[in-house]
Amino acid sequence: MDLTDRPRRLRTDGIRPLVSETSLDSTDLVVPIFVDATTDERVPIESMPGHERVPLDEAVARVREVRETGVEAVIVFGIPESKDAEGSRAYANDGIVQEAVRRITDETDAYVITDVCLCEYTDHGHCGIVEEGAEENPTLTVQNDPTLELLAKTAVSHAEAGADMIAPSSMTDGMVGAIREALDEAGYSDIPIMSYAAKYESNFYGPFRDAADGAPAFGNRRHYQMDPANAREAMREVALDVEQGADVLMVKPGLPYLDIIHAIRETYDHPVAAYNVSGEYAMLHAAAEKGWLDLEATAYESLVSLKRAGADLIITYFAEDIAERL
């Protein structure tokens, strides 16, 4: 055969890495950390093998473990000692995230991101102040504008504790603008916001709700998280967050929404983040335990696909294992 173009020429071992189009580095990855005010010892998360809830006294040690792998950034989630209707422990000066961030920033060189939401802190498990009668009426959920004030208070309390970046995840309309204004007024204009700009109402979150104890006590989150069927809506959501001052744009989950990641990358020059969520992590572990796939190789391929789609940084439970391979 007379073939002028033979792509296989560039697939041999010597040249393959030289022409690789996508690279993955430990500095691209962010590790989620769960700090639990209700325990004094590490508690394995059954649905997420290899991950644990850690008590406050273990938060620094946990972050040091992350840093030893070469990963530089963590995102901190908290499980409070008590919950109420307004999630008051989310913005308490002595809240679990605030206390953990103080210790982590004082004793490590990790870059510390904090998740800003109320679902782990409310007794009803929703991401804000619920409307009256919401438990009995499935068409009602969270009051949007009253929730903004609490999100802003939470963000400022995290910044005061030493957080390097704020990551609001509640999908409340106007959350980026409210938080940006509050941070600026409090003297934290240099703190960036990584918005969960396109967060879908996804079935891939199941294990996380086990990890963070944040499942809704009634109903679901379909009235404020996005419909998985919608792509154009994601771009509207992202555009609003850009207008309100978001510095980094996140898509959650990651793998089922590669098209959304790519569309944002093509449209905006902001850094794009992907959250490789708990369900994506758990399903690969489950398949590997059956002997159906190679866990490390498949995890690496998954993260490379997120980078290839356009993600600049990836929050993932695989971060430490993959960083050690890199």
As a residue count, the chain comes to 326
**Which structure tokens are listed for 52?**
């644990």
Q: What CA–CA distance (Å, rounded) separates 95 from 87?
A: 11
Contact 123, 217 (CB under 8 A): yes
DSSP 3-state percent helix, strand, coil across the chain (nearest 5) = 45, 20, 40
Active site residue 290: no
Determine contact, residues 215/209, Cβ cutoff 8 Å. Answer: yes
Angle at the Cα of 293 from the Cα atoms of 292 and 296, rounded to 5 degrees: 150
Q: What is d(CA 323, CA 225) in angstroms, rounded to the nearest whole number?
A: 31
- The catalytically annotated residue of 83, 153, 199, 307 is 199
Instruction: Report how far residue 22's alpha carbon sits from residue 310's, in angstroms, rounded to the nearest whole number.
Output: 10
Query: Token pair for residue 234?
Result: 């994601």
List Cβ neighbours of 291 (8 Å cut-off, separation of 6 or more): none
| Distance, CA of 13 to CA of 87 (rounded, Å) | 55
Annotated catalytic residue 252: yes
Find the catalytic residue in 153, 252, 290, 307. 252
The residue whose two tokens read 């004094």 is 40
If one counts every other C-beta atom within 10 angstroms of the C-beta of residue 23, the result is 10
Tokens of 29: 């990855």
Which helix (H) or strand (E) element contains residue 238?
helix 232-244
Question: Rounded to whole angstroms, how far apart are CA atoms 326 and 323?
Answer: 5
Backbone phi, then psi, for 55, in 5-degree steps?
-70, 165
Six-digit token string for 142:
């969270």
Q: What distance in Å separates the CA atoms of residue 285 and residue 280, rounded to the nearest whole number?
A: 9
Catalytic positions, written as ranges: 199, 252
